Structure 1
Amino acid sequence: MNLQINIGVDDVGPYLIHSRREIIALLRRLTGQRELVRMIFSEGEEAVATAVLEVGEDSVIIDSAPSAQQLERVLASSSISFDTALERIRIAFFATRIEPCMHDGLPALRIPLPDTMVRLQRREYYRVLTPRCSIQMEKEEGPPPVSFAVQNVSAGGIALIDDEKVLNPAKGTEYSNCELMLPGAQSVIATLCVMNCCDITLYNGRTARRIGCAFVNPNAAMLALVQRYVSKLERDQNARLHGGGL
């Protein structure tokens, strides 16, 4: 197992899942809930937002990388890490082999079914991230920016909550000039591409739309800023975890 992500614990042994049946069940829950997954490659130097599309008995199909250049680097990587959350429990799994394939007529990636997965039992560890993302809707009348709560953020993209269901959730839809305001950091301007969408039930019983988006051609400065923010969150969460402050 090549850990390219910060799991946040010194010994992952107690959190490893070896049961084939349980691994398949968890992966299929990720598929059913359309959770955004961070795929980390190039020796941990790059990450993109993806999703688990289909889970078989021996393999897993993952959504492809956003660009041809990134796809080339993914396929050239000797180890790839996947990091996500399922009902606020952190999930991680890994692959040393990956190959291109097609899924529903679209490019995708296939990995062998993982032998193990990491599932952090402490639900408090993976907290929902709540920066705000303001998107200027492209309409002739020029309305003011519309703000959305961001459920999580990574170097690959974001998952936002569209309470009023005002955005076009079709995969491939792009929104330019999106301002992502990171608490304690300067704002970044990005183009977002819709990768997946599902309806969720909020704590108050209302239904909202969760939209997973990938950053489109982010520049190095923006990626560095987002990665510093994510790393700071992970350090803060680790400190609270090990300090017993939860």
Structure 2
Amino acid sequence: MSENQSPMEPIDDIDPDDPYTLTAPLEIQSVLRNIKLSKSLVHVYVLGQEASAITTVLDVDSKENRLIVDSFNDPMVTQQVQRARKLVAQVTLDRIHVKFVCPPLAPCEFEGKPALQAAMPAALSYLQRRDAYRIETPVVNPVICTITLSEDTKTRKVRLPLADISIGGIGLYDEQQLPEHSIGTIYEDCQIALPEVGNLTAALRIQHVTDQTLTNGKTRLRLGCAFVNPSNSAINMVQRYVGRLERELLAKKRGFV
């Protein structure tokens, strides 16, 4: 927390007054050490950009008040992360969703290998809700959500790629194909083809909408959508698919793929 920041103000988007937020340094360090011991994958997002990366916690140095994480495989992503003013890190630990704002990362060495370091986070969200955790879906061969639109006496199908998924809902990319993007809009009977899991049918409600500018100068919308009264079978399908993605990411991180 900066000297000019009131103790009652949120620390970026982590609210210190939320009952699920930890602000005591020893509690934060304990959670981070458990993440290290479990070798859980940490998803790091650059806010306001599409850049993201996966890492693991290597060390929680309480004496130097620093967190050390493994270096990233992609040099371009590493540069984006190091230049970023604000990063958000997310990880699941024993089905508990952990989230914290990560201070700027700087290169360092840990046990003779390249690594990244940052000051210890000032606050950490520790929320036991599986639906709070989202995982990015593949960019190559993306997961597709098919939405059927009724227009006068005709129907039209719109196929939109997923950005991410959780049991709470999905993120979609839309290049102005849907007729309505207002928050609260509900699209019924949406079909989501989950690879190696099956076809999921659910109603989607738009929760938030953001504009994104692509590298080619074009713009698209990112729609955050919640499942509306999903069935138990739909939730189970999402859980199986999320578990599959997590196993694939872990295998890539360990060099098995």
Give TM class, smaller chain. Answer: 0.5 to 0.7
- Taking only the aligned residue pairs, the percentage that are identical comes to 27
Question: What is residue 207 of structure 1 aligned with on the other side?
Answer: 219
1:107-122 pair list within 5 angstroms: none
Give 1:80 deviation, angstroms.
Answer: 4.9
Asked if the contact 1:136/1:143 (under 8 Å) is kept, the reply is yes
Question: What is residue 235 of structure 2 aligned with on the other side?
Answer: 223
Question: What SS does the aligned partner of 1:234 have?
Answer: helix
> Given the two structures, how large is their TM-score scaled by the length of structure 1?
0.54
Question: What SS does the aligned partner of 1:153 have?
Answer: strand
After TM superposition, the structure 1 stretch with the greater mean CA deviation from structure 2, 217-226 or 199-208, is 199-208
> Given the two structures, how large is their TM-score scaled by the length of structure 2?
0.52
Give 1:218 deviation, angstroms.
Answer: 1.1
Asked if the contact 2:137/2:143 (under 8 Å) is kept, the reply is no
Question: What is residue 95 of structure 1 aligned with on the other side?
Answer: 125
Distance of 2:256 and 2:239 partners within structure 1: 26
Asked if the contact 1:193/1:216 (under 8 Å) is kept, the reply is yes
Distance of 1:97 and 1:146 partners within structure 2: 35
Distance of 1:201 and 1:10 partners within structure 2: 30
- Give yes or no for the alignment of 1:152 onto 2:212: no
- Give yes or no for the alignment of 1:7 onto 2:61: no
Distance 1:127 1:193, change over 3 A: closer
Q: Name the amino acid aligned to 1:139.
A: E
Distance of 2:100 and 2:192 partners within structure 1: 21
Distance of 1:15 and 1:238 partners within structure 2: 15
1:19-30 pair list within 5 angstroms: 26=86
Question: What SS does the aligned partner of 2:156 have?
Answer: coil
Question: What is residue 183 of structure 1 aligned with on the other side?
Answer: 195
Question: What SS does the aligned partner of 1:180 have?
Answer: strand
Distance 1:82 1:96, change over 3 A: closer
- Give yes or no for the alignment of 1:134 onto 2:151: no
- In structure 1, runs of 5+ residues without a counterpart are 17-21, 31-36, 45-78, 85-91, 99-124
- Give yes or no for the alignment of 1:192 onto 2:221: no
Give 1:185 deviation, angstroms.
Answer: 2.3
- Give yes or no for the alignment of 1:81 onto 2:115: no
Higher strand share goes to which structure? 2
Give 1:202 deviation, angstroms.
Answer: 2.2
Distance of 1:134 and 1:223 partners within structure 2: 18
User: After TM superposition, which residue ranges in structure 1, 4 or more long, deviate above 6 angstroms?
Assistant: 37-41
Asked if the contact 1:165/1:209 (under 8 Å) is kept, the reply is no
Distance 1:217 1:126, change over 3 A: closer
Give 1:235 deviation, angstroms.
Answer: 0.6
- Aligned alpha-carbon RMSD (Å): 4.0
| Number of residues of Structure 1 aligned to a counterpart in Structure 2 | 163
Give 1:95 deviation, angstroms.
Answer: 2.4
Name which structure has the greater RCO, CA cutoff 8 Å, separation 6+.
1
* Structure 1 residue corresponding to 2:247, chosen from 235, 240, 244: 235
Distance of 2:159 and 2:235 partners within structure 1: 22
